[in-house]
Structure 1
Amino acid sequence: MAAKPQPHFLFITYPFQGHINPALHLAKHLAATTCAAVTFSTTVFAHRSMFSSTPNSDKHFNDGLITYLPFSDGFDEEGYKRGSMDTKEFLSVFRTNTKSSVSILINDLAASGRPVTCLVAVFFPWMVDIASQLGVPSVFYWIQAATVFATYYHFFHGYESLIKEHANEPSFTVCLPGLLPLQIKDLPSFLTITDDDSDSYFGFILELMRDMFEILDREQARMKPRVLINTFQEWEVDAIASVSTEIETVPVGHLTQVVYTNSGAGYLFNENENKYMEWLETKENGSVVYISFGSISFMKKKQIEEMVIALEESKRPYLWVVRKDNREEAGEIGGGEDGNGNRMVVEWCSQVRVLAHKAIGCFVTHCGWNSTLESLACGVPMVCLPQWSDQAMNAKLVDSVWGCGVRSEVDGDGDGVVRGEELVRCLNLVMGDGEKGVEIRRKANLWKDKALEAVSEGGSSDLNLMAFVQKISH
C-alpha cells in the first residue's frame, strides 16, 4: 500500500507585522511538531523586507523548517502606502492581483510535486473562493482573541442594529450571548462606525469582516465551518463556547520560542538585539518598564510627552520602543541609552525575548492581541492604553476578566490622551508592593502557567493542532 503523501499547508498573510507574526508562529509550530510541510507566503515587498539581510532570497528561501515564497499584490517595489489611492481603489487592485498571483502560486506548487493540502488564510476572505476553485481545502486563521471573534459573529447575527443605534454612547451596555456585559467603548472600533464612515478605512475593514462571516455562513449549508484561533482554550472558555454550535473554533495558541530558535526571518523592521538585551542584564529582577505600541499604532505627541513625565516621575528604568515612523512626534527623545543608564530607547526589538527577560516588571501596551498574548504567555503584568480595532476589548479582558493588569483612564477633555499622573498611578499599582499589585502579578503568572500547560504534550493547543492536521490529512 502506498504511503500517504505528506500534508502541505500554505499560509497566506497580509504584509503587516501584526499579521506576519502570529501566522509565522503557527507555521513554524506546525512544521516543528507535526509531519507537515509548510510554505509561508506574503507580498513581494514584505518578503524582501523579511529577508533583507539574506543574499539571493528575493523569490525563494528555506530556513530548514519552512519554505518562503512571495505573491504579488501589485505594489512590489515600494509596498502600499495608505493615502496613495483611495480605499476602494486599493481594495480593487489588491484583490485582483492577489487572486491571480496566489492562484499561480498554488498551481506552481502542484506542478513542482508539492500540491497544497490546505490553504490557511489570515484574514483574506476571497482566498477561500480561490482555493475552492482549485480544489484545495482552506481554513481561516483568526489572529485576534476568541472574544473578539465571538463579538463580530454576534454583531453580524442579530446585534448590528442595536450596536449601531448606540454607537455614540460609550457607556451603553450590550449583552451578547455567552459573553460578559460589554460597553460600547469596549467593542472593536470598526463596529461603531456611522454610515458617514462607510467609505473610510474603518468601513473597508468592516466590510471585509462581513465578507468573511458570510463565507462561514455559506459553508454551514454543507458542513460546520472550522476556524483556527490564536488563543488558549483555558483563557477564553466562555467566548469559545458562545459560537460553538455554529462554528468549530479550534484554539491553537502556542508559545513563541520556536520563532527565534530557527531563523531571524519575520521582522519588517531593523533591530539591534545585543545592545538592549545587554542593558536588561544590568537591571534588577522585575524592575524595568517596557513600553511599545506595536507595528502600526502611533503615539500622539501629547501622549509621548505625558509618558515621559510619568516615566521620569516613577524613577523606574525603562525600555521604550519608538518606531522610526513615530520619531517626529517623539521630539527630543533620543535613541539608545541615557547617561545614567536608566533608560533605553530603540526603534524595534524582539518583543518575546524582552518580555521573557527576568528584569521586565511591567508592559505599557496599546493592547494589540499579539502584544497581549505575548505578555500573558510570559507572565508580565500590563498597563493598557488601547487606541482602536480590538485593543479596547483586549484591555477589558486584561483588567476585568484575567485580572493581570489595569486599563488606564483617558483624560476627560476628549483628546484620548492618558495623563502622566494616571500613568504613574497605574505603574505604582501594577509594580508596587500593595495588595492589588501582588494579586495582579500572581494572576499574570497563573495565566502563563495555563498557557504552558496548553502547549505541553497532551495539552489543549497541542491536541487541537494535532487533531486538525489529522482531519486535513484524511
Structure 2
Amino acid sequence: MPHRILLVPYPVQGHINPAFEFAKRLITLGAHVTISTTVHMHNRITNKPTLPNLSYYPFSDGYDDGFKGTGSDAYLEYHAEFQRRGSEFVSDIILKNSQEGTPFTCLVHSLLLQWAAEAAREFHLPTALLWVQPATVFDILYYYFHGFSDSIKNPSSSIELPGLPLLFSSRDLPSFLLASCPDAYSLMTSFFEEQFNELDVETNLTKTILVNSFESLEPKALRAVKKFNMISIGPLIPSEHLDEKDSTEDNSYGGQTHIFQPSNDCVEWLDSKPKSSVVYVSFGSYFVLSERQREEIAHALLDCGFPFLWVLREKEGENNEEGFKYREELEEKGKIVKWCSQMEILSHPSLGCFLTHCGWNSTLESLVKGVPMVAFPQWTDQMTNAKLIEDVWKIGVRVDEEVNEDGIVRGDEIRRCLEVVMGSGEKGEELRRSGKKWKELAREAVKEGGSSEKNLRSFLDGVVG
C-alpha cells in the first residue's frame, strides 16, 4: 500500500514554502500527499503545483477573508478558533479517508500546530513534526522549557547549552525568550511551551522531528537533545535550484510558491548589471520595517554606490509610492519592487550579496546559492540564524552589533557591512569561498544517496514498518 501523508502547515509563507517542497520530495519517493491549510491561505497561494499524487483539502479557520484583528486579545481569540476548527477538521478527514479505504499512514504538521498531533493520536495515527527552523533553535527552545529558562531569560554574559558548540549572548537567542522582550511577544513563548508540552506527551515512541536543515550544516545540533529522533531532510528548496541539470520547462512542480504577486521584470533588470555587482534587500513576507530604519537603509544603499534590488513591503493601508521620501533618488540607482521570486534573484550571476532579515527560508536559499549575506535579524529565530551565518558558517557579517536606543541600526554601519561583503578584501573573499562550500554541501545532501535523501527514505520506511 502506498504511503498516504496528511500534511498540515501553519498558514504563513515561512511554513508553506518548505511544506510544499517536502510534499514534492515525498511524492518523488512514491507517496501520496494531502496538503491541508486554511481556506484563506490556500486561496492566496498563486502557483500551486499540480501533481498526480498531490491533493488539496483546505479547511475554514472561521476567517476565510483573513484575520485582520490587532492586539493580543484579538489574536488569542483567533488562535482558539483556529485550533478548535483545525482539530475538528483533522479528526474528520482522518475518519473520512479511513472509511473510504484510503487511510492516512502518517500526519506531518509544522510547528505550533500541536493540536493536529493530538487529534491524530486519538486514531493511533503516527505523527511527525516538520521543524521549519534550524535544529539549533529547536535545541535552545527545548532547553528553555527544560531547566534553563533563568539562564536564557537573563544571560549575564555568554551561556553554554548542552551539546551545542556555541556560546550565546542575549543578541543570539530567540528574542521572545528574553526577559527584556516586550510583553506583546510573550504569547509566542506560551505557544512554543504548548508545542514542547505536546512533544513531551509522546512517551511510548520516540517523536520524529523532521528538520529543514542538512547533516553537514548542523551535525551537533541535530544530536544535542537525545530524547528526540531529529533527522535532517533539507534544504527544502525547489529541486531545480539544487540539481546540476537545467530546470525543466514542465511547471507541474510549481517552482517556488508565493502568497504575494511577484514583480515580473526583476530578471530583465538584473541582466543589465555586471557580474556580482548587485545588492539584494528583502526582509521577508511578514516583517515591515519602521520608517526610520527604512531611511537608514536608504542612506546606506545610496552611499555605497552598488546597484540594488529592494523588496519594500508596506504596512496595511500605507502607500510607499508617496510616503517614502528617498524613493526617487533610490530608483535612479536601483530597483524597488513589492515582491519578487527570491530563488530566481539569488540564482542570478549579477547578484553580489543579500541584505536579509535572516528568516530561515531566506538563509537556506542564500546558502544553497552560495550568496554571501549581510545579516540584519529582527526578532524570533532570526537572531540565532544571524549568529550561525556569521560565526559558524562564515557566509555573512552582522549589522546589529550597534543598535541605538530606539533599536535602529545606523546607515553608516549598514554601508560598512555591505562594503565588506561586496569588497575584494580578505573578508569578502572568505565569505565567497564559504558560499561555494555550502552550495556544494547542500546539493550533496539532497541528491540520491545523500544524507537528507536517505533520511527521508528511512522516515517513510519507518512509517510503514
1:16 pairs, out of 5, 12, 19, with 12
1:162 to 146, 151, 154: 151
Alpha-carbon shift at residue 137 of structure 1 (Å): 1.1
Matched, 1:280 2:270: yes
Letter in 1 for 2:359: G
Equivalent position of 1:58 in the other structure: none
**Shift in alpha-carbon separation, 1:150–1:435, aligned structure 2, 3 A:** same
Per the alignment, residue 26 of structure 1 pairs with 22
Is 2:385 the counterpart of 1:397?
Answer: no
Task: Kindly indicate whether the alpha-carbon contact (under 8 Å) linking 1:290 and 1:362 is maintained by their aligned counterparts in 2.
Answer: yes
How many angstroms apart in 2 are the aligned matches of 1:335 and 1:254?
38
The CA distance in 2 between the partners of 1:409 and 1:76, in whole Å, is 38
Match of 1:213 in 2: 196
| Alignment length (residue pairs) | 450
Map of 1:290 onto structure 2: 280
Q: Counterparts in 2 of 1:458-473, with a 5 A limit? A: 458-473=449-464
Question: What one-letter code is carried by the residue in structure 1 that aligns with 2:234?
Answer: G
Deviations 1:343-399 (A, max 9, x none): 111111111111111111100000011111111111000001111000110000000
SS in 1 for 2:435: helix
The answer to whether the aligner puts 1:311 opposite 2:296 as a matched pair is: no
Given candidates 208, 226, 230, the residue that maps to 1:226 is 208
* Pairs within 5 Å for 1:99-118: 99-118=87-106
CA contact (8 A) 2:105 2:125 kept: yes
Of residues 324-333 and 462-471 in structure 1, the stretch that sits farther from structure 2 once superposed is 324-333
Match of 1:240 among 222, 228, 244: 222
CA contact (8 A) 1:289 1:317 kept: yes
CA apart distance, 1:101: 2.0
Cα deviation, residue 41, structure 1: 1.3
Shift of 1:84: 8.8
Q: 1:265 to 1:69 in 2, by over 3 A?
A: farther
Q: 1:147 to 1:335 in 2, by over 3 A?
A: farther
Q: In structure 2, how many angstroms separate the alpha carbons of the residues matched to 1:106 and 1:463?
A: 28
Matched, 1:141 2:130: yes
Q: Report Cα offsets for 1:99-127 as digits up to 9, x if no partner.
A: 11222233333344432111111011111
8 Å Cα contact 2:22/2:236 also seen in 1: no
* Distance (whole Å) between structure 2 residues aligned to residue 289 and residue 417 of structure 1: 21
Instruction: Give the corresponding residue for 2:3.
Output: 7
**Secondary structure of 1:86 counterpart:** helix
The 2-side partners of 1:324 and 1:360 are apart by: 24
Aligned-partner SS, 1:406: strand
Question: Matches of 2:121 and 2:236 in 1, distance apart?
Answer: 32
CA contact (8 A) 1:193 1:203 kept: no
* Separation in structure 2 between the aligned mates of residue 89 and residue 189 of structure 1, nearest angstrom: 24
Quote the Cα distance in structure 1 between the aligned partners of 2:371 and 2:403.
29
Unaligned runs of 5+ in 2: 241-246
Q: 2:38 aligns with which of 37, 43, 49?
A: 43
Normalised to the residue count of structure 1, the TM-score between the two structures is 0.89
Name the structure 1 match of 2:347: 356
The 8 Å contact of residues 403 and 409 in structure 2, kept in 1 or not, is answered as no
What corresponds to 1:453 in structure 2? 444
Q: Secondary structure at the match of 1:39?
A: strand
Assess, with a 3 A threshold, how the Cα gap between structure 1 residues 72 and 437 changes in structure 2: closer, same or farther: same
The equivalent of 1:86 in structure 2 is 74
In the superposition, relative to structure 1, how do residues 152 and 432 fare at CA in structure 2: closer, same or farther (>3 Å)?
A: same
**Which amino acid in 2 is paired with 1:289?**
V
Q: Deviations over 1:205-227 (max 9, x none)?
A: 212211222222221x3122211
Number of the residue aligned with 1:332: 325
Task: Return the letter of the residue paired with 2:189.
Answer: L
Distance 2:403 2:177 in 1: 23
Letter in 2 for 1:185: R
Question: 2:117 maps to which residue?
Answer: 128
Q: Contact 2:238 / 2:256 at 8 angstroms: preserved in 1?
A: no
Q: For 2:4 and 2:173, locate their aligned partners in 1 and report how far apart those are by CA, in whole Å.
A: 37
**Distance in 2 of aligned mates of 1:434 and 1:95:** 52
Corresponding residue number in structure 1 for 2:243: none
Shift of 1:237: 0.9
User: Cα distance, 1:43 vs. partner?
Assistant: 0.3
Distance in 2 between residues matched to 1:335 and 1:110, nearest whole Å: 60
Equivalent position SS for 2:177: helix
CA distance, structure 1, for counterparts of residue 462 and residue 446 of structure 2: 19
> Which amino acid counterpart does residue 187 of structure 1 have in structure 2?
L
C-alpha deviations, 1:430-459, integer Å up to 9, x for none? 110001110111011111111111111111
Question: What amino acid is the match of 1:278?
Answer: E
| SS at 1:325 equivalent | coil
| CA positional deviation for 1:85 | 4.8
Please list the CA deviations of residues 241-261 of structure 1 after superposition, one character each: whole Å capped at 9, or x if unmatched: 211x21110100035234894
Residue 444 of structure 1 is matched in structure 2 by: 435
Q: What SS is found at the alignment partner of 2:231?
A: strand
Q: Displacement of 1:266 after TM fit? A: 3.0
- Counterpart amino acid of residue 377 in structure 1: V
The equivalent residue for 1:57 is none
When residues 354 and 462 of structure 1 are mapped into structure 2, their CA distance, relative to the original with a 3 A threshold, is same
- Identity of paired residues, percent? 40
The alignment partner of 1:427 has SS state of helix
Q: Deviations over 1:237-282 (max 9, x none)?
A: 1111211x21110100035234894226731111123x11111111
Which of residues 413, 427, 430 is equivalent to 1:422? 413
Q: CA deviation at 1:404?
A: 0.6
Distance 1:469 1:246, change over 3 A: same
Q: Partner amino acid for 1:387?
A: Q
Q: Return the alpha-carbon distance in structure 1 between the equivalents of residues 31 and 324 of structure 2.
A: 49
- Aligned residue for 1:237, secondary structure, equals coil
Which whole-Å CA distance do the structure 2 matches of 1:154 and 1:335 have between them?
49
8 Å Cα contact 2:298/2:330 also seen in 1: no
